[in-house]
Structure 1
Amino acid sequence: MKFLPILISLTLSPSIVLANDWLEVNNLPGNVNIPSWTEKAYINNSVISRTTSDLYVNFSDWIAEQNLYVTKPTRVVLFADTLEIDENFNHLIDNQNILIFARRVIGHGTANFVLGKEGAVASFTIIADHVEPTINILAFRSNDTVSVDKLNDADTLGISVLTAGDTYRSVDITTNLNEYLLQHTASLVDIEGRIFDAASAVFDTNPVVAGKMIDWAERTLRLSDDALEKDPLLADLYLQAVAFQQFITLSAQSDQYVPRLDRTLYKDKYRAYLDAMAAYQAQWDLASDRQTKIEDKLDAAQRALDNVTDVLNAQQSIIDQSDKNISKLHESLSALEKRYNTQELTALSARSNYVYGVEVWKTQQELNAALQIFQAIAELGSAISGVFTGNLGAVNDLTEQLSQTPETLSKAKNLVTNIKNVTGIIDNISKSIGGIAKLTNEAKGSIKIQKIAGALDTFNFALPTIEESNLAWDLMLAEVRSNLRFADSLGIKGARQYLLELEKQVLLGKGINTAQLNLAHEQAKMLDMLLTQEVSQNQQARLQQAITDYQQESGQFDIIEKELSRMLTHFKRPMFIALANYKQAYKYWALKESSLKPSLNKSALDYQSDLATIESEYLNALERFDPAPQDSLAVTDFIIDDQTQLQSLAEHGELNVQLALDNEKFCRYDRVRLSTLRVYLEGESLPYGQEFNLKLSNSGNYQDRFKDQQFAFSSTPLNRSFDYRLDDAQHNQTSIILDGAVANKLAYAYFEPTPFTTWNVKVADFGQADTQYLQNVERVRFEFLGSGIPGERNCNQ
């Protein structure tokens, strides 16, 4: 849709038409509630300049409206989120400097900008993220030649061309925008504010578009560091963009992720936060109501400002809780890494027998491709471990080894691809969590814009989802299983045992990545709140000043409305995350989706209704199960008596056990949930009266099933202690000192672990006390107590 001529368009409120056009060209529904202040373009015209900033601009119509050939301004500045070029046109730039700043340039037209035709000074600069139409910059040179520069959707941010007499300069814009934007901070504040507020408005409808808008705002502001130092409002907009990036990262978390939710957290902390936000919104509704008298608007704005402190105080309690969560996640990740290192040693021990078996076998056959694959897999565990520490050399050598001959590459193509995918996942996650951690530490202290921007220069937010990470590991493991089972079928000694131990190592590596992603999400949540808290405090001061200015008749009320509106959007984000977390936890609990829909566009009343729904959904969650879960499930004879496993326990004081979803001990039950976990070390020669102090943990990756459906979930790894005294070794009689109660420790309404994961058993005092008795352990017995739904499957097949 194009503009009507300017005189008519003023009568028909062109600003509203512009907002509708912006929604249309970005494929967004017309009922999105864009903030009212964005419905009017920012215009600053004078005798020598023309400046416009708006969400959407049709370039041909705008050029015609400005009547540049008649008004002849020396400076033309156009800032937009979306600029449309839908017609072919030529524009002569004579004694004129044109600057265009746009996130998207769309359309099928061709624009030709002609500089220096009359020998006068002229420049054309365009900064854009995405460019569809053809844009040519033709510069007439003093030597009667014409230079042609083309702008396309390349790696650069834009191009700047200048002609002045004999001077011709063409510069690709890549990393620094200060030269072009520093003189236009008012326009930059306006367009970045429009982009931020519009992105907040459309996030519910299209989070991808919102994410691209915020990424553009963050990137361009970061590359305008001199402007950030010059203008405090720009600095605040930058912090808001960084915070919103974290929010988007967090809100896009995996469908498999299960946060551990304590219902009291919702009842107390979030309800206190919501109550404070509701008081603020009540005043905002009055201040923004067009029917409210201006005196009452001003009074409501002041009362809303008074409520901000209450909201920030309530938010601080959530920040404190997030800080505690991060500490616990670090502890879980550290424990997983230690378990991984121990399992690597066990796998290396099994590898020795396997390598010897391969050497014996290769003298008896001519399957060269298979031999190379078998030899490469022997190095896989160490190569993957190297990636975790930042050393990619071993894994690169491994994939190169598998690619040396066409025959080998043909047979190992999937394995090579999957190893590279896992390597990329590990490397990406490791760098990202380091970057987010650095940002979070910066935000905890006195926030310095330059340090925040510097940290963001070193990484991006392209974190994989938990599903993507798990899939990469699972595909690689499937190829490893296939090849080692083939090796075992050929009679290669040690292949089966090596597969068993390597599989555990891979599953622990998968668990580490899952724990890292969970940590990254919690760090992103905290960073969002810390930066938003800083911005809100700055907004408090600006809002108070704006109210004072208005009372002294030197300000405008729309500035007050803009600040109030943006603060309300900030306050909604913690509620969005809370409800998103609840949806994930509820899905794990009920094995179905919640009816709640997290949204940034809900009112405080809507959020209060959502919290009431949480209560009712929890009470009704189990109604879909027929029969209902029974709390008397007791599997007390899950035995580990493999000699390699027991040797690992004796040598390292721990062992890892994978419990598959199809394990026969649980065949008859669906939706198994654990309330208590116990592990006993058994053997007739174990010392009477010995106290055993065991640390029980898992990888955090769980499986589950209900009827014909299978589910996969990821959460924080579980860590429990189980202590007992051996009273009679021959008859396995014991006295429990500290039980491995899971549910009582967690006290979470929505999370109880399933048994179907990788478990770790560790002797707590190994290496510190005399543990020679571990040589006499003949078996390890697990007891799983909890609930389950009786299934209908045949377990006798």
Structure 2
Amino acid sequence: MTGLSPQPTSPTEWESYATSDAVQSIPLREAETVDENAKTATFRGVFLEASTVLPSSMSRVNVLADVVAFKEESSTISPARNGTVQIKARVLTAATPVKIVIPSDASGVVAIYAAIVDQPIAVYLGDSEELVLDLGRESEYVGIVLDFDGGVLEYDYEKIYPSDWSENLRASLNTQLRIALVEFWRNTSIAISLCAYVAALTKKSPEFSLLNTQAVALGQQLAGQVIEGPEMKYAPVLVPSRYENTARAIIDAAAAFQEQYERFEDKEESLENHIKAWQTMLSQATGVSEMHKTQRDIAMAKYKNAQETTEHCLRQFKNEGDALVLVQYQFEQGLEMWVIEQKFQAALQIVTAVFSFAVSIGTLVMGNPGGGSGAADAAGRAVKAVQDAERISDQVGKILSSNTLKKLADAINALSNLIPLVLIIVDAVEKFEMDNTIEIPSTDDISGSKIGNADATTIVTLAAWDKWILDVDQQIAFAVENNIDGASDYQLALRKHGINGKQLAQAQAETIKAGYEYVQAQMEVIVSQKQIEELQALLEDYEGQEERYLQAKTIFYDRAMALRTSIVIVLRDMAWAYRYWALAESSISLDAHKPLADYRSDLATILTEVDNVDSQWASDFQPFEYPEHSESLPADYGPSLTAGLLGGEHTGSFTLLPEGDLANVFSEGSHYRLNGLDATLDGALPNSDSAHDGKVWLKLQITTSGIYADIKEDGRVLYFRSLPQVRRCSYDLDMSGNRLNTRDDPSFETKDHAEPTPFTQWKIKVLNPEDLNLEGLKGVKLLWEGRVRYDEVHRRRQQVEELE
């Protein structure tokens, strides 16, 4: 699965989480209102003990908490006659199984809502049989309503939360969202769970629609990050040092704001000084609003680039999928003609299941609205067929497991659930700033699966694609070894299908992250403007009223956290740029609740790391020039590249990866960086009608998908998503097909931008096919130019692998 740190599972662990400095610094996080005369009580907090918040003989008790802890094995709930008790908590925790006892002579209603239940909870009415609550991570229910009277207990499970627009609920959800913003950088599992819980409670409440959008924006960024796995990160296009000035400016702004916030927090300060601090922070918050807009615009550009990458990968996946269907038919014919021995029965059953599974996952990955449910059913049947084959004993050639298929289907289903909504929400949020009557769609799905919402450690990552590619390749190898007609071609096509499918899935996960990064940035612009207006209104006639003071303090906390988040985002971009630059992780830790001095230290650290990268090597990068012909490309990409150039769109493509033969000529070094790829059409001639002075100007466009990989000295592969490269390659072509002078050179060194790696999806397009005669096209002459690091250990490892 994910390898994430799990959430706490006991009262002691949850209490430690709730009493951390980061949580304790949140204003208005708890409240208690008890009216002994009216027999009503409301308890709100982050961590509440059941023994404290379940008083007896009350007519109405409302408990709103992030965590409710049962520290005793048995708890009694005894409301006044016809009284009601409602518990809404993200987590119900205990160290041992819990008994909730309701006196047999009691009458009333108890409603319990929880997303996570750490220990079994059983309810007893007097001495009646136990009712074990079906709530928690794997339950389809969010709550249960217990109705008891005259010694009879009746109950109904609930699948949605009841409507509630109370200010206490709003305050509770706001607190949980503030905690999620802190945990976003600290504990992914807790942050996703918090976001999913807030989203679930706000989905059906128009009054809480902005809260829903904020929760979804935070949660789905993290879900996309978990799905793509730890090896995939965004790679900013500029070198790390270009972000230094921005980071310093935001840190300075945050420090100035923090100074005034501490004055405002200090109860010993005079009213006059409180007002001065208020006015100063209000002015500062107004001043940084332009910075938030700039960050929003950058996030939108990043999202559009992610969309472009996804569209590129989608087209390539579809093209390869069409080719897969053709060779599958030929392979099926070969299977029908093959005499099947009994010992091969399971292997052939698995191969047959692969046919339907490969096609169905293709439909799911592409998000086909018409074929989605049918494709999901077909994938399920394929999994079942492999499970049946696994039960056949004494078989030869069984490799692919049903678990491999199931995990891949789960990963694809999660993305197919998340991708459609991000497009709609981004569009709505973009319009909302100008027209606040625009309805932003609400959702309660954060991870693409219910259990993943409550427990992020169960989310299936895109490593499932790697397992599928490896296992299915070995499975079809069984058919190749048995000389079944069409098996070899199908194996190659299936390998391409898997490679392109993974790249598309990576691009989709990045689109989700980038889309909700924009949503978060846009919501910050909207919320900050709203809060500035609220601060201005609260300041009028302010004379030290406690309620106004606490409201203002909460808003100022949000403004301070917004600045801290901006700092961490810039430091994260620098860390990502360093990762691409050095193929190493920066030592800084990203946290929105550090002392501001630590951010200055982090900035100095990462700048030092950048400066020290080259000191690890005895020399500069070594330049290379690798000429090759497209016919030598791996995985039969040469003929398909030529066929694409001859097709209606005059576009061919191929994909290189750092592993195995797909590395092509880039197999013995690391830190490969390209100045560019130059291409010459082999066999192309001028169209005589287009020739001038015995030549034509041949124009090519060379692009990359935007999903890149590179390999470290130790063989570990890292993945990156960055801007697609688009370069023009053009030259004069004489009447004999010879290349003359170059007009547009696609290879050049860059100063401020990071160069691409060769390990990406390459696309070559003829821009002026009408000027050419391509009937004799034999392929493409490729010239790779760039820089590389060679390491003795890496070369030795490669040589050992070749000998094995």
- Scaled by the length of structure 1, what TM-score is found? 0.82
Q: Which residue of 1 aligns with 2:759?
A: 756
Q: Which residue of 2 aligns with 1:85?
A: 70
1:112-135 deviation per Cα after TM superposition (whole angstroms, max 9, x unaligned) = 4436716xx533222222334565
Task: Look up the match of 2:776.
Answer: 776
Partner residue, 1:620: 612
Are positions 1:206 and 2:187 aligned together?
Answer: yes
**Which residue of structure 2 lines up, in the alignment, with residue 482 of structure 1?**
474
Which structure would you say has the larger RCO, counting Cα contacts within 8 Å and 6 or more residues apart? 2
Matched with 1:6 is none
1:753 Cα deviation from its structure 2 partner: 1.9
CA distance in 2, matches of 1:73, 1:375: 65
Structure 1 stretch 310-319 or stretch 290-299: which is displaced more? 290-299
CA gap of 1:326–1:300, structure 2 versus 1, over 3 A, is same
CA distance in 2, matches of 1:788, 1:683: 32
Name which of 507, 517, 521 aligns with 1:515.
Answer: 507
Shifted more, 637-646 versus 532-541: the winner is 637-646
Distance 1:242 1:384 in 2: 26
Cα 1:86–1:77 change in 2 (3 A) is: same
Provide the residue aligned with 2:86 in structure 1.
Answer: 99
CA contact (8 A) 2:69 2:92 kept: yes
Question: Which AA in structure 2 matches 1:763?
Answer: V
Deviation, structure 1 residue 76: 2.7
Other-structure match for 1:52: 43
Q: Partners in 2 of 1:320 and 1:213 — Cα distance? A: 27
**CA deviation after TM superposition for structure 1 residue 476, in Å:** 1.7
Contact 2:699 2:730 in 1 (8 A): yes
Work out the CA distance in 2 between the residues paired with 1:567 and 1:723. Answer: 49
Write the mapping of 1:157-556 to structure 2, written as runs, cut at 5 A.
Answer: 157-163=142-148, 170-178=155-163, 181-182=164-165, 185-223=166-204, 225=205, 229=207, 237-246=211-220, 248-249=222-223, 254-263=230-239, 266-267=243-244, 273-351=250-328, 353-362=330-339, 367-374=344-351, 377=354, 382-387=359-364, 388-390=366-368, 391=371, 392=375, 394-396=378-380, 398-399=382-383, 406-407=391-392, 412=398, 414=400, 416-446=402-432, 451-452=439-440, 454-456=442-444, 460=448, 469-551=461-543, 553=545, 555-556=547-548
Residue deviations 1:510-531, cap 9 Å, x none? Answer: 2111111111111010111122
2-structure distance, mates of 1:403, 1:725: 57
Residue from 92, 115, 130 that aligns with 2:116: 130
Deviations 1:258-279 (A, max 9, x none): 3223358735666555554444
The whole-number CA distance in structure 2 between the counterparts of 1:33 and 1:452 is: 30
Tell me what 1:34 maps to.
23
2:32 paired residue among 34, 43, 46: 43
Measure the CA separation in 1 of the matches of 2:224 and 2:242.
19
Question: 2: CA distance between counterparts of 1:363 and 1:215?
Answer: 51
Aligned residues: 746
Q: How far apart, in 2, do the equivalents of 1:571 and 1:723 lie?
A: 44
* Distance in 1 of aligned mates of 2:202 and 2:378: 40
> Which 10-residue stretch deviates more, 755-764 or 564-573?
755-764
Q: Which runs of 5+ in 2 are unaligned?
A: 1-9, 688-693
Q: Which one has the largest radius of gyration?
A: 1
CA shift for structure 1 position 640: 1.9
2:133 to 151, 166, 170: 151
How many Å separate the matches in 2 of 1:449 and 1:639?
55
Structure-1 residue corresponding to 2:785 = 785
C-alpha distance in structure 2 between counterparts of 1:357 and 1:37, whole Å: 68
The 1:335/1:409 distance shift into structure 2, 3 A limit, reads: farther
Query: What is the CA–CA distance in structure 1 between the aligned matches of 2:218 and 2:591, rounded to whole Å?
Result: 14
Compute the RMSD of aligned alpha carbons: 3.9
Q: Answer yes or no: is the 8 Å Cα contact 1:691–1:723 preserved in 2.
A: no
Q: CA deviation at 1:601?
A: 0.7
Unpaired runs of at least 5, structure 1: 1-20
Q: Secondary structure at the match of 2:764?
A: strand
Deviations for 1:611-639, whole angstroms, at most 9, x for unmatched residues?
45444433332222233313x22112354
CA 255–742 in structure 1, closer or farther in 2 if over 3 Å, else same: farther
Contact 1:415 1:480 in 2 (8 A): no
| Cα distance change on mapping 1:350 and 1:765 into 2, 3 Å | farther
Q: Is the 8 A contact 2:90 2:115 kept in 1?
A: yes
C-alpha spacing 1:501/1:690, structure 2 compared with 1 (3 Å): farther
Call closer, same or farther: CA 1:708–1:321 in 2, change over 3 Å.
closer
Give the superposition deviation at 1:315: 0.9
CA distance in 2, matches of 1:736, 1:525: 42
- Displacement of 1:487 in angstroms is 2.7
Cα offset for 1:785? 0.8
Alignment partners' CA distance in 1, 2:225 and 2:645: 41
Distance 1:61 1:109, change over 3 A: farther
Distance in 1 (CA, whole Å) between partners of 2:119 and 2:685 is: 82
Query: How far did residue 564 of structure 1 move?
Result: 0.8
Deviation larger for 432-441 or 651-660: 651-660
Cα pair 1:677 1:740 within 8 Å, conserved = yes
Question: In structure 2, what is the Cα distance between the partners aligned to 1:369 and 1:173?
Answer: 44
Q: Could you tell me how far apart the structure 2 residues matched to 1:489 and 1:552 are? A: 84
Q: 1:458 to 1:289 in 2, by over 3 A?
A: closer
In structure 1, the partner of 2:654 is 657
**Corresponding position: 1:723 with 2:729:** yes
Deviation string 1:375-420 (CA, Å, 9 cap, x unpaired) is 5555665444322243305545655665665549975562544344
Quick one: structure 1 residues 222 and 332, their matched pair in 2 at CA, closer, same or farther if it must change by over 3 Å? Answer: closer
Distance 1:455 1:40 in 2: 25
**Amino acid across the alignment from 2:558:** R
Deviations 1:518-565 (A, max 9, x none): 111110101111223222222222222333353375844233222211
Match of 1:678 in 2: 678
Residue 370 of structure 1, CA deviation: 4.6
SS in 2 for 1:433: helix
Shift of 1:743: 5.5
Q: TM-score, normalised by structure 2?
A: 0.81
CA contact (8 A) 2:677 2:746 kept: yes
**Residue aligned with 2:422, SS:** helix
CA–CA distance in structure 1, aligned partners of residues 748 and 490 of structure 2: 32
1:633 maps to 624
My pick for the range that moved more, 534-543 or 146-155, is: 146-155
Which digits, 9 at most, give the CA deviation of each residue in 1:558-610, with x for residues without a partner? 33222211222233223323322332331221122212221111355544554
**Does structure 2 retain, via aligned residues, the 8 Å contact 1:115–1:123?**
no
